[in-house]
Structure 1
Amino acid sequence: MLSPTRTRASLLAAGAAVAALLSGSLSAGTAQAAPAPEAGTTAASPHESCRPEGLYSTPGVDVPYCTVYDNQGREKMGADHQRRIIGYFTNWRTGKDGRPAYLANNIPWNKITHINYAFAAIDSANKITVGADGPNNPNTGMTWPGVAGAEMDPAVPYKGHFNQLTKFKKLHPDVKTLISVGGWTDTGGYTDDATGKRVNSGGFYSMTTNADGSVNQAGINTFADSAVAFIKKYGFNGVDIDYEYPTTMKDAGHPADWTLANGRRAGLVKSYAALMKTLREKLDRAGAADGKHYLLTVAAPSSGYLLRGMETFQVQKYLDYLNIMSYDLHGTWNEHVGPQAALFDDGKDSELAGAGVYTTSQYGGIGYLNTDWAYHYFRGSMPAGRINIGLPSYSRGWKNVQGGTDGLWGKSAATNCPAGSGLTKCGDGAVGIDNIWHETDNNGVEAPAGFNPMWHAKNLERGIVPDYLPKFGLPANTSLTGTYTRKYDSTLVAPWLWNAQKKVFLTTEDEQSIAAKADYVVNKGIGGTMMWELAGDFDWNAAKGQFEQGSALTSAMYDKFKAAAPYGNKKSAPAPAMPTDVINVDVDFGQFALGDSNYPISPKLKITNNTKVALPGGTEFQFDYATSAPNNAKDQSGFGTTIVRSDHTGNNVGGLKGDFHRVSLKLPAWQTLAAGASVELDFVYYSPVSTPSNWTVTFGGKTYGIASDLARGVTVVEPTDGSGGPGGPGNGTCTAPAWTATGEYGTNAPVSHKGRNYKAKWWTKGDEPGTTGQWGVWTDLGAC
């Protein structure tokens, strides 16, 4: 989150080697299977009843979930907080530069549930860092003499923002704080205390991934150990990872990182999974020792382009929850003028239209540059309550906009792109009074982006010339040119300001759009909202006759959420109910092509039978994937993949109507999946999906769930195989001839061996049954 620019590219334009610039915090990766529980067991931990559905629990550790969650697996946040209200609190708005300060005493502590503190970085030794201690360090050393409410707590052994957060948490013990690591600037480096300049050290990229693309487990362990020690030292409740970006898409993230990161792209997804697993396990062990559960979260992308290079975002199971950066969906990284945080698609997005998304049949007409699409992407693999949608408290904007309706879906092309942006084509960003939160390049040149706190946008809307302009380098006698007229599209749920005289378009967020998004959160059972950043929220200062920093948007969310029903805590749809008996069958989507080669999206689906019985031919597997992708997934391996239920069909104008497509596929009739064996099939789909979930396996007259879905209230069992497996009708006697190493067996010849029956597929001699695998000569008919 922190830069006026972000990398974006057309999601589904196959072969497009495009990368535009994005600011925002995110995460992604590949997952490793959880250790399989023993059959006949339920969780032994007394805290299991409080574990959120789908959350991985470190083996052998009694994680104290009940210190954070209730017995339904929902987070405890205070009686008047049924949904999360998360605010990013940044360390650079100290007021020492003459601009308005935003300190801990400005936070609306009674209205929020969580604070993400931005940002910590990773130093050259792979450890978390917020810089060297000293009076100029805003995190641990700075003070604000004479500022009411910003007095230091003398009982706390450090100063700065950390002292203030600790002080106010004593007064508001339900509010949790997390240290956010990374962000746009600090993902691939850190700021040198002596020079004040960024050191391009590699950060997340080199800490997690070696130059050859292999996992840097030593670096990951060092970082994770330092992160655990850090939160314990400074009193944080957890770690928020803002890694931008572990994707295979070339030129994603900060341009200064491209040289190093691009060489590691093939390994970033795997190493990100290793990072998240390591953090989860070390936090779990620390939490068990300390008697309190520590949170692990990420800021996740809403960009379909980035998500396409993140496989199926397989790290969900390690996260308490994720925050979607459902903003920066349009900005001056290209010429397309539109809202940066629309709730819904309207079927008219000029960027999507230009990429053929609305007209190419495989895409189903589904527009993916909106919050609803991003929410449903993650809903395919997580309970709604472990997802929070992002809200911007800042604007983005263009000047010299041509066409569109009041600028909406018009175009604005720049002749020169900002230095250091890595772009050769970009939008013509608004500047001056339309860009007061602007950043500058290394030469002090303004980055044009229409980047403003929402309180400044409100003043422009009202035609007010505020008194703070000199603090942002503008003359006090600055006058406004033209009228900034508020516009609102109810289909998109998006307001903006349009200055017809200047041809300036500024995205905004206000009371009407926030109310609609809060209603959406409540109605969908979503966990809550995350705001980047608290300092952009507004209130009216009647004495001065202008808008200033405040909490109007935060208060609007609080008022909507305080009496809401509890959030959704189940991964699956309400009906039909998922089985409570689950078996150890593992599934994995892997072997994705890299970057722009990954279209159509064609992974291998690997199914592994970790039970003690064979799965017979005809065994049916069903699973859900998100309606953010069209209902046209298929396989190319003869497993007969069909869509057996769709909660949404057609385009998504005004929103997706349901959460899941239900898929069925079957083992071919001639094929048995032996105990311990795996089978792979070629799978194909056309828009990114998060990890498919809610699996069932049906054979022998019974349907089971799978243990790796990590559902609540289930029992791991050994299945009945229908021909004598555990719980089946077998009589314990093998009547088929016993196999011998010297015997010769023709096609369909029956034998028994080590308590199981087999049938030969072709003539064989010397091939031991149970050792030849699924493609071998022997078909496993089950126990006898």
Structure 2
Amino acid sequence: MRLSLSSRARSPRAPGRAPQVLAAATTLAVLVTGAVGAATAQAASPVPAAATTPCAAPWSATPAYSGGATVSYQGQNFRAKWWTQNQAPSTSPDAPWQSLGACGDGPTTEPTTEPTTEPTTEPTTEPTTEPTTSPSTNPHEKCRPDGMVQTPGVDTPYCDVYDEAGREKLPNGLDRRVIGYFTSWRTGANDQPRYLASDIPWTKISHINYAFAHVDGQNKVSVNASAPGNVATDTTWPGVAGAEMDPSLPYEGHFNLLAKYKKANPGVKVIPAVGGWAETGGYFDAAGNRVASGGFYTMTESQAKIDTFADSVVAFVREYGFDGIDIDYEYPTSNNQAGNPDDFHISDKRRGQLFKGYIDLMRTLREKLDVAGAQDGEYYMLTTATPSSGWLLRGMEVYQVTQYTDYVNMMTYDLHGAWNEYVGGNGALFDDGKDPELAAGGVYTAYKGIGYLNGDWSSHYFRGAMQGGRINLGVPFYTRGFQNVQGGTYGMGGRAPATASTKCPAGTNNKCGDGADGIDNLWYDSDPQGVAIPAGANPIWHVLNLEKGVVGDYAAAYKVPTTIQGSYERHFDPVTKNEWWWNAQTKTFLSGDADQAITAKADYVNSTGLGGLMIWELAGDYDYDQAKGQYEMGSSLVDIMHTKFSSSTPYGASKANADRPMPTKALDLDIRYTEFALGDNNYPISPKVVFTNNGAKDIPAGSLISFQYGTTDTGEMSDWSGLKTTVTAKGHTGDNVGGLDGDFHTVQFTVPTGGIPAGGSITNQLKWAMPAAQFSNVIVTVDGVAYSTTYDHLHGVTVVDLPATGGGTGGGDGGTGGTGSCTAPAWAAGTVYTGGTVVSHGGKVWTARYWNQNDTPGASAWGPWADGGAC
């Protein structure tokens, strides 16, 4: 959340400055299209080698091989690294096979050198981590969350954290998560208010994220632990009640106190966050100087660097007893000049490859954490902080990492601020059709009235790819603000252009806004010269004091004025749920979340099935000190969350909604998304989507593929492939004032001539308008029989092959094979049927190819119903 890097100790984390520098660019880019090719890795050149070892049994495509199995293939012996089936041995680092060298009598080939690093899923230690079983035999599989990928051959201990519905087991009576970021820099320096681990409301929350660790110069996770006096492991607070160190631990600092209080509050998870605004593209050394090393941007350039980082994460989590890792990479987007301006010289020239590196990073972390968890008998979580602006997400493909994460923490704040002149709420929950930045950029006109700078739009973006329970809504316990605001309603929706003397920060193209300063900017950041950057950044307890006309005895310690001009009046908008303070005399506008906004957002989480709320940052919460007559750091907002979430119902645990029952038998079908245009040219969004049949039988021509995607798009998906891709049902139409109506649009197309051969693929170049995450709830209907797919990583399905004649009775929830008893619901005139719906009529089972109403099954061979045979 910050605009410069020089004042680490005071700085909040800046998840969303760049998304807001978008309005002008959006208008110009709406009609632009483009595409980029995918990069390919090159294998090492082979050289002849003499064979001296007998060949093992030949590899075959049919059997399943467990980790450690040995086979021969093309003159070499190979050992399985993990469970595998139908994957021919190769020397690729990503393959499930490790070459043991030449075998037999003749020459063969082998790499000229040994690999310098192990593959991403290779265990980091000897035999104990070698997978020995197929994923289906994992006794913890019953607890795996719906949609989360299984690490092959590893008995990941999901039941340590999840119940048999795949829901996280939460402490403190909570049904939803309360996740608080605890920052390292509020240590009480310079007599400023202190917030230590002892101040966290441990009995009211579920997770604590420590901010921040970083990627060091050796591509390893670090908190400068080797530096004397570092706050993470080598600082103490003598005489501070509750901050006494646990002498049994070999380290001190924040990590000691976090471990101490975690031990006293079992069930609360403590997870370090890596990165953040200032340390995504570099890191702060022990002296507090920023090193522009490249951070995530350069670490994710190669698998070897990613492996180094992931191995260090495993060691780090084990050393300090953490429950996992949180990746705050801001941002792996292909948009130009996105993220921290100090990193543009690093990020911009790599932007076409950043998201691929992010996918590789998250996949590798998932695999290595799962292997370590199986070793240690406890589950290690992998979470990520995600952007929420549609501008940034347009450059992040379709966010193909959701299957690797336990949950996403949406940074649904910093949606407006002084990086431009448009005065809007810090963290709107809903759109009202009047967002000044979107209106200026022509977004409403271009996208049928849909606005994308609000929490509801962001929630639906991720809901398209994962269940609600793995999505957490971010809330700001701080403000953003402007001064000298012109127009608007009590400032909201107005303009605050920078004055002629204002030096705009880098990355704003000299078109910044007039950010609030002085007493309206308590938590200010500094530029490289140490001058405060006007941004209206304040903890909630400070703006509540301003509302009461109280300066607060802490003001001098922050070196801000100790007098107040004018008065501050609080406002709350019932549509957007924005909460803000307006000073009519100084024309100052400050927006953040206090009790009204937090109550509305907690109610939203409960009503939509989301997983919970994520707080940036805990130190902004408030209590009232009656003796001093002022607000101070406290837990009043967390108390509201705990009350709301300890009397709610369990969160949503299934990717599909109840109106789309997923078949219990699945085909081994995968989907890849390729060749996206760079974000600034990604209009329309038009990747080539590859559907790969990994099964042993062909998927015949004429089969239907139906899938769902998020309602963040306008719902008019089509294709450039001639496959007649059709939207069969819309979950939302029109603008999104007050929120999007449904979660999914439903789409289908027919498999073309030639089908999808076993081991083969077809490509459908699809196109749509607004950012949407990965497709979900894929159903393939073959000869009237409906199947799920392995692509969705569904909980509790059985993977099957098609029968020799196609669909028949081999799987799915379709016909009964002519037993004389039709179990599917009877077709009824007047009822609306969507693609994939199964009915019975005239003694047969029928599957809808697409949306239809009053179309009698069997009336036409080319009609909307596929004949599934007698029942």
Mapped partners of 1:614, 1:134: distance in 2: 60
In 2, Cα distance between equivalents of 1:466 and 1:42 = 58
Matched, 1:7 2:18: yes
Q: Secondary structure at the match of 1:394?
A: coil
Aligned to 2:867: none
Corresponding residue for 1:654? 738
* C-alpha separation in 1, matches of 2:392 and 2:23: 8
Alignment correspondent of 1:389? 473
2:527 corresponds in structure 1 to 441
Q: Who is 1:21 aligned against?
A: none
Q: Is the 8 A contact 2:337 2:507 kept in 1?
A: no
| Distance in 2 between residues matched to 1:423 and 1:104, nearest whole Å | 40
Q: In 2, are the aligned partners of 1:52 and 1:69 still within 8 Å (CA)? A: yes
Residue 715 in structure 1 maps to residue 798 in structure 2: yes
Matched, 1:207 2:290: no
C-alpha spacing 1:324/1:702, structure 2 compared with 1 (3 Å): same
TM-score, structure 1 length as denominator?
A: 0.87
Which of 569, 572, 577 is residue 653 of structure 2 equivalent to?
Answer: 569
| Counterpart position of 1:257 | 343
Given the alignment of the two structures, is residue 55 of structure 1 paired with residue 67 of structure 2, yes or no?
Answer: no
Letter in 2 for 1:557: M
Shift of 1:114: 0.3
Q: Which moved more, 1:608-617 or 1:544-553?
A: 608-617
Aligned runs of 1:245-284 on 2, under 5 Å? Answer: 245-284=331-370
Tell me the TM-score normalized by structure 2.
Answer: 0.78
For residues 585-600 of structure 1, the aligned pairs below 5 Å read: 585-600=669-684
Listed one character per residue, the Cα deviations across residues 214-244 of structure 1 (whole Å, up to 9, x for unaligned) are: xx11110111111110111111100000011
Matched residue, 2:538: 452
Q: Residues 257-306 of structure 1, C-alpha deviation per residue, up to 9 Å, x if partnerless?
A: 11111111111111111111111111001000000000000000001111
Deviates more, 1:299-308 or 1:508-517: 508-517
State whether residues 418 and 448 of structure 1, in contact with CA within 8 Å, keep that contact through their aligned partners in structure 2: no
Alignment CA distance shift 1:43-1:309 (3 Å): same
Call closer, same or farther: CA 1:436–1:57 in 2, change over 3 Å.
Answer: same
Deviation at 1:109, TM superposition (A): 0.3
The question of whether the paired residues in 1 share the 8 Å contact of 2:435 and 2:493 is answered with yes
The structure whose RCO (Cα within 8 Å, separation 6+) is larger is: 1
Q: 1:606 pairs with 690, 695, 720, which one? A: 690
User: Residue 540 of structure 1 aligns to a residue in which SS?
Assistant: strand
Distance 1:294 1:11 in 2: 40
Measure, in 2, the Cα distance between the counterparts of 1:716 and 1:38: 14
Please say if 1:689 is aligned against 2:772. yes
1:229 to 297, 315, 338: 315
| Residue 93 in structure 1 maps to residue 179 in structure 2 | no
Residues in 2 aligned to 1:118 and 1:718: alpha-carbon distance in whole angstroms: 47
Tell me the equivalent position of 2:384. 298
1:102 aligned residue: 195
Instruction: Give 1:617 shift.
Output: 2.1
C-alpha distance 724-695 of structure 1, shift in aligned 2 (>3 A) = closer
The equivalent of 1:72 in structure 2 is: 165
| CA RMSD across the alignment | 2.2
Q: Following TM superposition, by how much is the alpha carbon of 1:629 offset from its aligned partner in structure 2, in angstroms?
A: 1.1
Q: Which moved more, 1:644-653 or 1:239-248?
A: 644-653
User: Does residue 578 in structure 1 map to residue 658 in structure 2?
Assistant: no
Distance 1:437 1:570 in 2: 41
Match of 1:619 in 2: 703
Point out the more displaced range, 627-636 or 307-316: 627-636
Q: Distance in 2 between matches of 1:332 and 1:592?
A: 31
Structure 2: which amino acid aligns with 1:493?
Answer: K
Amino acid of the structure 1 residue aligned with 2:210 = Y
1:502 lines up with 2:599 in the alignment? no
Contact residue 225 and residue 232 of structure 2 kept, 8 A: no
Q: Deviations over 1:454-493 (max 9, x none)?
A: 1001111121121111011035xx3211111111110001
Q: Deviations over 1:519-575 (max 9, x none)?
A: 110111111010000000111111101100001111100000002111100000112
Which position in structure 2 is the counterpart of 1:176? 269
- Superposition map of 1:114-193 within 5 A: 114-193=207-286
| Letter matched to residue 199 of structure 1 | V
The CA deviation at 1:595 is 2.6
SS at match of 2:442: coil
Q: Shift in Å at residue 7 of structure 1?
A: 1.1
CA contact (8 A) 2:417 2:481 kept: yes
1:540 aligns with 2:624: yes
Q: Which is worse superposed, 679-688 or 715-724?
A: 715-724
After the TM superposition, which residues 335-484 of structure 1 pair with which residues of structure 2 at under 5 Å, given as runs?
A: 335-360=421-446, 363-414=447-498, 415=500, 416-421=502-507, 423-475=509-561, 478-484=562-568
1:418 CA displacement: 3.8
Q: Which piece of structure 1 moves more, 705-714 or 459-468? A: 459-468
The answer (yes or no) to whether the contact 1:6–1:328 under 8 Å persists in 2 is: yes
8 Å Cα contact 2:23-2:442 kept in structure 1: no
Q: Is the 8 A contact 1:417 1:425 kept in 2?
A: no
> Which 5+ residue runs of structure 1 have no aligned equivalent?
19-28, 210-215, 730-784
Return the letter of the residue paired with 1:480.
I
Q: Is the 8 A contact 1:188 1:200 kept in 2?
A: yes
Structure 1 position 507, deviation (Å): 0.2
- Deviation (angstroms), 1:667: 2.1
Question: Could you tell me which amino acid in structure 2 is paired with residue 458 of structure 1?
Answer: L
The CA distance in 1 between the partners of 2:726 and 2:574, in whole Å, is 36
Change in 2 beyond 3 A, CA 1:618/1:13: farther
Report the secondary structure of 1:274's partner residue.
helix
Please show how residues 510-521 of structure 1 align to structure 2 within 5 Å.
510-521=594-605
Aligned residue identity for 1:201: S
**Is contact 1:399-1:504 (8 Å) kept?**
yes
SS at match of 2:689: strand
Q: In structure 1, which of residues 241, 245, 265 is the aligned counterpart of residue 327 of structure 2? A: 241
Closer, same or farther: CA 442–488 of 1 in aligned 2, 3 Å:
same
1:312 aligns with 2:398: yes
Identical-residue share of aligned pairs (%): 53
Q: How much has 1:420 moved relative to structure 2?
A: 4.2
Deviates more, 1:715-724 or 1:655-664: 715-724
